[in-house]
Amino acid sequence: MARKKKEKPVVAEAMPDNVVGLRSEVLEQPITETLESNYMPYAMSVIVSRAIPEIDGFKPSHRKLLYTMYKMNLLTGARTKSANIVGQTMRLNPHGEASIYETMVRLSKGYEALLCPFVDSKGNFGKVYSRDMAYAASRYTEAKLSAICKEVFGDIDKDTVDMADNYDGSMKEPVLLPTSFPNILVSPNVGIAVGMASSICSFNITEVCETAIALLRDPDHNVKSTLPAPDFPTGGEVIMDASAIDEVYETGRGAIKLRAKWRYISKLNIIEIYEIPYTTNIEVIMDKLSDMVKNGKLKEISDARDETDLGGLKLTLDLKRGTDPDKLMQKLFRATPLMDSFFCNFNILIEGHPKVMGILEIFDEWTAWREACVKRRTYFDLTKKQEKLHLLLGLEKILLDIDKAIEIIRKTEREADVIPNLMAGFGIDKIQAEYIAEIKLRNINKEYILKRTKELDELRAAIAELTDLLKNRKKIRNVIIKELTEVIKQHGSPRKTEIVYAGEDEAEDEQEEIPDYPVHVFVSREGYLKKITPLSLRMSGEQKYKDGDSLAFSCEGTNRAELLVFSDKQQVYKLKLSEIEETKASLLGTYLPSELEMDEGESVLQVIYITDYSGDLLLFYENGKVARFGAVAYETKNNRRKLMNAYSDKSRLIKVMKLTEEMQFAMISSEERALIINSALLAPKVSRTTQGVNVMSIKAKHRLKGAYLLTETAIKNQARYRARSLPARGAILTEDDRGEKQLSMLD
List, in order, residues 6 or more apart from 627 with CB less than 8 Å away. Answer: 618, 619, 621, 647, 648, 685, 690, 691, 692, 693
pLDDT of residue 292: 87
> Is residue 354 reached through a cis peptide bond, with omega within 30 degrees of 0 on the bond before it?
no
pLDDT of residue 445: 75
369-376 mean pLDDT: 96
Question: Shortest CA distance to 105 belongs to which of 132, 130, 134?
Answer: 134
Q: What is the 3-state secondary structure (H, E, C) of 307-375?
A: CCECCECCEEEEECCCCCHHHHHHHHHHHCCCEEEEEEECEEEECCEEEECCHHHHHHHHHHHHHHHHH
Degrees to nearest 5, angle at CA 326 with 325 and 331: 95
What confidence tier does 22 reach under pLDDT thresholds 50, 70, 90? Answer: very low
pTM for the model: 0.69
CATH number of the 261-337 domain: 3.30.1360.40
Higher pLDDT, 567 or 503: 567
CA atoms within 13 A on the CB side of 356: 14
**pLDDT tens readout for residues 463-510:** 999 999 999 999 999 999 999 999 999 999 999 999 998 654 454 445
Q: Is 621 helix (H, G, I), strand (E, B) or coil?
A: strand
pLDDT of residue 639: 66
Higher pLDDT, 192 or 346: 346
**What are the catalytic residues?**
140
For residue 678, pLDDT over 50 is answered with yes
pLDDT of residue 635: 85
What integer best gives the mean pLDDT of the chain? 88
345-350 mean pLDDT: 94
Lowest mean pLDDT among 12-21, 80-89, 179-188, 351-360: 12-21
What confidence tier does 8 reach under pLDDT thresholds 50, 70, 90? Answer: very low
- Please tell me which of 18-22, 228-232, 397-401 the model is most confident about, judged by mean pLDDT: 228-232
Q: Is 540 helix (H, G, I), strand (E, B) or coil?
A: coil
The CA-atom distances, in angstroms, between 96 and each of 91, 176, 468, 570 are: 11, 22, 48, 46
Q: Is 394 helix (H, G, I), strand (E, B) or coil?
A: helix
List, in order, residues 6 or more apart from 560 with CB less than 8 Å away. Answer: 511, 514, 516, 577, 578, 611
For residue 24, pLDDT over 60 is answered with no
583-610 mean pLDDT: 89
Number of Cβ within a 10 Å radius of residue 466: 19
For residue 621, pLDDT over 70 is answered with yes
Lowest mean pLDDT among 28-32, 183-187, 288-292: 28-32
**pLDDT tens readout for residues 36-58:** 777 778 777 777 777 899 999 99
Domain spanning 52-179: CATH superfamily: Topoisomerase II, domain 5 (3.90.199.10)
What confidence tier does 12 reach under pLDDT thresholds 50, 70, 90? Answer: very low
407-424 mean pLDDT: 88
Residues 658, 617: contact at Cβ < 8 Å? yes
pLDDT of residue 6: 46
pLDDT of residue 578: 86
pLDDT over 90 percentage in the chain: 55
Residues 298, 317: contact at Cβ < 8 Å? no
The CA-atom distances, in angstroms, between 174 and each of 53, 107, 143, 531 are: 14, 18, 22, 66
Q: Is 156 helix (H, G, I), strand (E, B) or coil?
A: helix
For residue 194, pLDDT over 50 is answered with yes
What confidence tier does 71 reach under pLDDT thresholds 50, 70, 90? Answer: very high
What confidence tier does 638 reach under pLDDT thresholds 50, 70, 90? Answer: low
What is 453-519 written as a DSSP string?
A: HTHHHHHHHHHHHHHHHHH-HHHHHHHHHHHHHHHHHHH----SSEEEEPPTTHHHHHHHHS---EE
pLDDT of residue 20: 46
Phi-psi bin for 638: left (phi > 0), alpha (psi -120 to 50), beta? beta
**pLDDT tens readout for residues 309-340:** 888 899 999 999 889 999 999 999 988 999 99
Lowest mean pLDDT among 325-339, 435-449, 526-540, 667-681: 435-449
- Please tell me which of 59-68, 241-250, 704-713, 730-739 the model is most confident about, judged by mean pLDDT: 59-68
pLDDT of residue 377: 95
What confidence tier does 425 reach under pLDDT thresholds 50, 70, 90? Answer: confident
In the chain, domain spans: 1-37, 52-179, 261-337
